[in-house]
Structure 1
Amino acid sequence: MSFDLWQAAGLVVTGVLSAFLAVLFLAVLQRKIGRRGDSIFLETSGNAEFLFDGKTLIDATPPGRSLLPKACQSNAAAWPCLISYLEQRFPGVALRLETLATDGILVMSSADDGKDDPLLVRAEWRGGLTRITVVESESPQSAQVLDPLTRRAIRDELDHLRRITAKAPLPIWRESDTGDVVWANARYLDIAAERLGDEDDLTWPLPKLFPTMDPPSSGASHRKKLVGSGGETDRWFDLFAAQDGDGAQIYALPADTAVKAEEGLRAFMQTLTKTFAHLSTGLAIFDQDRKLVLFNPALLDLTGLSPDLLTKCPNLPTFFDALRSSSMIPEPRDYKSWRNQITDIEEAAANGHYEETWSLSSGQTYRVIGRPHPNGALALSFEDISTEMSQTRRYRADLELGQAVIDALDPAIAVFSAMGVLVMSNAAYAQLWDHDPAISLGAEGSVAAVCDHWRRATAPTTIWDRVEDFAAQMSARDAWADEVRLLNGRLIVCHFAPLSGGATIATFRPTAFDEQLDDPLAVASCKMVG
């Protein structure tokens, strides 16, 4: 009886211990699974493994997730990013994976180029799921284990590079020799995803944003337009390619601002061209490299230069050489020194101080003005002033003729303008009053200053006060006359009369007896009679 009791107690104790051990084992296993991130992969081999349902990621081991950029951690974006990674190391793997449901298993090795250890990719089809494993093949190089510090440095550098490319504000991608996009950063994937339909996902191969792009060449840039979809505006990019062995790395710099600025500049230039087309002044604008960038039709008419020459954007020396060949500049005596003067012309125009009058052999006269423009540009204007110069010469000739006429008159004459300024006198006036207005101008030419000079040369009289009032009157005036006596005793008849426009003319004539004294023959006869 006692034996049965002890046997029953042993069975109870054994059952309790078994249950306790089972619960303890399950708790330890649950904590272990929790530490592994609730992953379905329980292997501890450290390989990069992925499990896909079609092209949707179900799970991946930590080494596998480390192969994917942060922008590709989502279940939908993982497949094209993984294919991009594999295609660079296992060419043709994308096509092989398409037939995996039929083949059942796939094993490929990366090319052994002597630089890196070969890799192996293994893909299996299990119950409608695709399991992909990437491992490092066994080789003498792979047997070498890196020290922890080196592994940490490599991991940190890889993480930094991934963050840089992921946060880059411009699209960056890599193309193979065949032109396929085998890698792209987050910005490229975002733009590509924006252009997909609501029901579409990114697939392999990655879509090309610029399908008509020329073959990439290092150092060359291509400006391409990305046509907007769904009502979006078009975007412009400057593409820069860097060749790298079996492919090319391409950078797309946003150029919307530059394109808008160029369009604005082009519209402004068209406006200027239309405005300048109606000017009679010839205009030539040179950029900071002194190449002709803008001219108007008047320049062709004034200089006679051919449009073919000007449309070739000649530089400043070539432009002046063409003018010299057309006899449109004053012919220099020394052509070499004249060529050196072009530099002086350029410097003077750049400082805003160049202005000359060119008298040509054809009889034409041009006024040439140089002015600086923003950003180092230079503007030259050519104006035909032949008519103006002819009128000036004619006016000067008329003045000289009028001066010669009044100089031939016997009476002394002085003319004051409406403002009371002495503007004209003759030789008899200068001889009578010992006063040459051509030498004394400005304030000394005013009617007040001239009257003071007359007061000092004559006996005291009130005539000069009347003259000042008469010249200042703006209303209707009547001519009047009076006599004054010079300090040398000569008697002078003064006559003052208004002219058109408010001017005043003063005429001085010696009396008849004083005229006889001025005549040497009359003086001699008087002495003989005396």
Structure 2
Amino acid sequence: MTLRVNCYHSGLTYMNSATLLQFGGLVIASFSIAIATLWVLTWLDQRKVPVQKSLSSSDGDSLAFLFDDENLVDATPHAKLYLEATPVGSTDWIRLLAALRPAFPNMVEEISTLADRGQINLVAQQGSSRIQADWKNGLARICLIESSSDTSNVELDRSSFEAMEKELDTLRATAESAPFLVWRQRADGTITWANGTYLKLSQMCEPDLLVPVWPPSRLFDLSNSGYSGPEAHSQRVTTHIVGEAEPRWFECFETPLGNESLFTAVAADKVVKAEKALRDFVQTLTKTFAHLTIGLAIFDKQRRLALFNPALTDLISLPIEFLSGRPTLLSVLDRLRETKMIPEPKDYKSWRQQLFELEVAAVNGNYEETWSLANGRTYRVTGRPHPDGAVAFLFEDISEEISLTRRFRAELETGQAVLDCLSEAIVVFSPGGESTLSNNAYGKLWGIESTALLGDFGILDATKIWSEQCAPSPVWGDAREFIGAVGERAEWVAEVRMRDGRSLSCRFAPISGGATLVGFSLDTAQIAGQPKRLEEQPDLDVETISA
């Protein structure tokens, strides 16, 4: 038992020594390999050739571009000229995409995998050219190759080439300097070209984009695009600018060009505001016209009914269906004649002539007539010219006004007849001293015709006549002061002697409105006795006669 234990212990000691020797060998070997690796890397770094960031001399006659990300590192002379002819963009890569994408629609998607694939070949839609893209040392080489031999040998003289360049510069400057938006777009909505004004507005709509992308985003919802007519098709569109509360309005015109469409958009904010103001104004007028009691009918320059209000249908008794059909002026007047809503003419020929004269007078602005209808109603019809050759007719029911005027006239005539039946000579003066009313007895007493009392016949004229036919008296001066006085007045009477010896009683009474009534009464006994005139009795004076 003791022997076995010793042997086992001796074997264990032997095995631990061997393991330690192997582990030490591994450590020494690993350290040696690390030293060798560092030496090799240092040697390779010293011999490393710098990355070439320029095109080779073999690319001199081709359209080749060398890009580091979106920055153009190098380009051949032909490529530089080609790039200068492309639309203005934020980077050279954006400009190149704008020029090549119409022919290579999937260029962006394919080029994005160039670093993984190493080389990509793209063929244009028409097959006339192709793009060869290579990835090397972190740089992208883009080469545009014309595969068609028919156009590669076309020769131009210098003058033709310069003319083409000048025309190209003119067209480019015109498109970029245009104050309105111009762009080309495919049926799927992809923008293939846009001018500077469009790109600026696109950046305003997406201010969060630090680097502009191509193609730019669509600014408008052209849901009705795809118009295939020969002429430009227009539609009103809007777009929203970040930070602006109201949308911007544009009048967009679409013109088909092959597989694409050319769009131009002109700012229409002022037009939209003006149209809205006009609609609001028309609505206000419509509401106002709806509450008018005067019938309104407006005929355009073709003399078709363009506008009417509800009061018109009530006045002329024509159905709304007929008026809504935009009848002509002659049709409306003929229908009024049939319904006896217009004065009946003597014959149809004179009726047509009257209609012609009515239209001419309305255009001149001097048509105004009173229509007395068979139903007893009375209308005042007025014609007025409107802009752009239109004419408006106003129908006003003045039946009550005419009836009131007739009653008032009848009352005046009755009152005048009553005054004429009175034996007292009466005359009425206004606050200004003008004669406004008198009766027959007044005219007979003073020998004045009724027509002479009309017009500018005032208190001065009256007192002159009175003093000429009467003995001198201060009554006439007092009368003038009384008639022209302002404020409260009291009625007073006086007696004068006429030159024929008759005694005349005068009455001065204030009436409503500041007017004054003057009444003259003769002694009936003296009228019967007919005394002699004062000038035939020189020895008599006024006091003797009064006694």
d(CA) in 2 for partners of 1:49 and 1:321?
83
Q: CA deviation at 1:307?
A: 4.4
Alignment-derived partner of residue 200 in structure 2? 190
Aligned-residue CA RMSD (Å): 4.0
Q: CA deviation at 1:449?
A: 0.5
The letter for the 2-side match of 1:82 is A
Among 63, 69, 82, the alignment partner of 1:64 is: 82
**Structure 2 stretches of 5 or more lacking a match?**
1-51, 532-547
- How many residues end up aligned between the 2 structures? 465
After superposition, the C-alpha distances for 1:448-504 in whole angstroms (9 at most, x for unaligned) are 201212333445555433433443445433342524335xx4736333241522421
Alignment-derived partner of residue 269 in structure 2? 256
d(CA) in 2 for partners of 1:372 and 1:79?
63
The letter for the 2-side match of 1:81 is A
Alignment-derived partner of residue 176 in structure 2? 166
User: What SS does structure 1 have at the residue aligned with 2:450?
Assistant: coil
Alignment-derived partner of residue 121 in structure 1? 130
Among 405, 422, 433, the alignment partner of 1:392 is: 405
Among 468, 481, 489, the alignment partner of 1:456 is: 468
The letter for the 2-side match of 1:425 is S
Q: Give yes or no for contact 2:205–2:240 (8 Å, CA) kept in 1.
A: no
In the superposition, relative to structure 1, how do residues 370 and 228 fare at CA in structure 2: closer, same or farther (>3 Å)?
A: farther
Q: CA deviation at 1:135?
A: 3.4
Alignment-derived partner of residue 495 in structure 1? 506
In the superposition, relative to structure 1, how do residues 289 and 184 fare at CA in structure 2: closer, same or farther (>3 Å)?
A: farther
2:358 matches 1:346: no
2:162 matches 1:152: yes
Q: Give yes or no for contact 1:498–1:505 (8 Å, CA) kept in 2.
A: yes
d(CA) in 2 for partners of 1:54 and 1:312?
69
User: What SS does structure 2 have at the residue aligned with 1:198?
Assistant: coil
d(CA) in 2 for partners of 1:98 and 1:335?
86
The letter for the 2-side match of 1:447 is I
Q: Give yes or no for contact 1:317–1:342 (8 Å, CA) kept in 2.
A: no
TM-score normalised by the chain length of structure 2: 0.71
User: What SS does structure 1 have at the residue aligned with 2:522?
Assistant: strand
The letter for the 1-side match of 2:221 is F
User: Percent identity at matched positions?
Assistant: 33
Among 90, 106, 115, the alignment partner of 2:121 is: 106
2:226 matches 1:210: no
After superposition, the C-alpha distances for 1:324-353 in whole angstroms (9 at most, x for unaligned) are 56554444453322331343243233xxx5
d(CA) in 2 for partners of 1:77 and 1:191?
17
The letter for the 2-side match of 1:120 is S
In the superposition, relative to structure 1, how do residues 341 and 123 fare at CA in structure 2: closer, same or farther (>3 Å)?
A: farther
d(CA) in 1 for partners of 2:59 and 2:86?
20
d(CA) in 2 for partners of 1:248 and 1:67?
21
Q: CA deviation at 1:377?
A: 6.7
In the superposition, relative to structure 1, how do residues 478 and 120 fare at CA in structure 2: closer, same or farther (>3 Å)?
A: closer
Alignment-derived partner of residue 26 in structure 2? none
User: What SS does structure 2 have at the residue aligned with 1:442?
Assistant: coil
d(CA) in 2 for partners of 1:343 and 1:457?
60
d(CA) in 2 for partners of 1:242 and 1:44?
40
User: What SS does structure 2 have at the residue aligned with 1:86?
Assistant: coil
2:106 matches 1:86: no
In the superposition, relative to structure 1, how do residues 54 and 119 fare at CA in structure 2: closer, same or farther (>3 Å)?
A: farther
In the superposition, relative to structure 1, how do residues 394 and 506 fare at CA in structure 2: closer, same or farther (>3 Å)?
A: same
After superposition, the C-alpha distances for 1:121-164 in whole angstroms (9 at most, x for unaligned) are 3323434735231437332x653421212211211111111111
d(CA) in 2 for partners of 1:369 and 1:97?
79
The letter for the 1-side match of 2:351 is Y
d(CA) in 2 for partners of 1:306 and 1:83?
67
User: What SS does structure 2 have at the residue aligned with 1:151?
Assistant: helix
Q: CA deviation at 1:300?
A: 4.2
In the superposition, relative to structure 1, how do residues 43 and 429 fare at CA in structure 2: closer, same or farther (>3 Å)?
A: farther
User: What SS does structure 2 have at the residue aligned with 1:392?
Assistant: helix
Q: CA deviation at 1:94?
A: 7.1
In the superposition, relative to structure 1, how do residues 57 and 316 fare at CA in structure 2: closer, same or farther (>3 Å)?
A: farther
Q: Give yes or no for contact 1:241–1:248 (8 Å, CA) kept in 2.
A: yes
TM-score normalised by the chain length of structure 1: 0.73
After superposition, the C-alpha distances for 1:168-220 in whole angstroms (9 at most, x for unaligned) are 22111223466643322222233334434537853458646334134334243
Alignment-derived partner of residue 75 in structure 1? 92
In the superposition, relative to structure 1, how do residues 310 and 468 fare at CA in structure 2: closer, same or farther (>3 Å)?
A: same
Alignment-derived partner of residue 240 in structure 1? 253
User: What SS does structure 1 have at the residue aligned with 2:451?
Assistant: coil
Q: Give yes or no for contact 1:369–1:381 (8 Å, CA) kept in 2.
A: yes
d(CA) in 1 for partners of 2:327 and 2:179?
41
Q: Give yes or no for contact 2:424–2:519 (8 Å, CA) kept in 1.
A: no
After superposition, the C-alpha distances for 1:222-255 in whole angstroms (9 at most, x for unaligned) are 1122244566531111112233444432211110
In the superposition, relative to structure 1, how do residues 79 and 145 fare at CA in structure 2: closer, same or farther (>3 Å)?
A: closer
d(CA) in 2 for partners of 1:322 and 1:220?
43
d(CA) in 2 for partners of 1:294 and 1:76?
61
**Structure 1 stretches of 5 or more lacking a match?**
1-32, 112-117, 519-530
d(CA) in 2 for partners of 1:109 and 1:382?
74
The letter for the 2-side match of 1:341 is E
Alignment-derived partner of residue 480 in structure 2? 468
In the superposition, relative to structure 1, how do residues 84 and 205 fare at CA in structure 2: closer, same or farther (>3 Å)?
A: farther
224-233 or 285-294: bigger deviation: 285-294
Q: CA deviation at 1:119?
A: 4.6
Q: Give yes or no for contact 1:192–1:209 (8 Å, CA) kept in 2.
A: no
In the superposition, relative to structure 1, how do residues 414 and 383 fare at CA in structure 2: closer, same or farther (>3 Å)?
A: same
Q: CA deviation at 1:411?
A: 4.2
d(CA) in 1 for partners of 2:203 and 2:91?
14
In the superposition, relative to structure 1, how do residues 94 and 86 fare at CA in structure 2: closer, same or farther (>3 Å)?
A: farther
d(CA) in 2 for partners of 1:205 and 1:461?
108
User: Superposed, which structure 2 residues align to 1:299-310 within 5 Å?
Assistant: 299-308=312-321
d(CA) in 2 for partners of 1:236 and 1:322?
46
Alignment-derived partner of residue 353 in structure 2? 337
User: Superposed, which structure 2 residues align to 1:264-303 within 5 Å?
Assistant: 264-284=277-297, 295-303=308-316
d(CA) in 2 for partners of 1:74 and 1:291?
61
The letter for the 1-side match of 2:94 is A
After superposition, the C-alpha distances for 1:37-63 in whole angstroms (9 at most, x for unaligned) are x96464574443334567775554213
User: What SS does structure 2 have at the residue aligned with 1:169?
Assistant: coil
**Larger Rg, first or second structure (1 or 2):** 2
Q: Give yes or no for contact 1:79–1:203 (8 Å, CA) kept in 2.
A: no
In the superposition, relative to structure 1, how do residues 104 and 94 fare at CA in structure 2: closer, same or farther (>3 Å)?
A: same
